[in-house]
Amino acid sequence: MEELLQVNWGIIAPLIALQLILMITALVSCFRHSETNGPKWLWLLMIIFVGTIGPILYFVVGRKNE
């Protein structure tokens, strides 16, 4: 508990907010596109559970160009 009080939340909070925005944007994009490169359920799991890399991989590799 003492460690949490010593964390500089002025730096950490914006990073957490950016991570959440990136994840929500990737989830909305994945739901809106009818086709992805690979199974959609796998991309959803990667976006949610792989942290920052999951949404970035979805935007770089997962979306199909229309």
**Which residues have C-beta within 8 Å of that of residue 48, sequence separation ≥ 6?**
23, 27, 54
Q: How many domains does the chain have?
A: 1
Report the pLDDT averaged over residues 6-17.
87
- Amino acid 27 reads L
- Quickly state the pLDDT bin for 66 (edges 50, 70, 90): low
- Quickly state the pLDDT bin for 3 (edges 50, 70, 90): confident
DSSP letter for 51, please: T
3-state secondary structure of 38: coil
Q: Six-digit token pair at 40?
A: 């959609």
pLDDT, tens only, 15-33: 999 999 999 999 999 999 8
Give the range of the structural domain holding residue 45, as residue numbers without chain letter: 2-62
Q: Six-digit token pair at 46?
A: 């990667």
Q: What is the pTM of this model?
A: 0.81
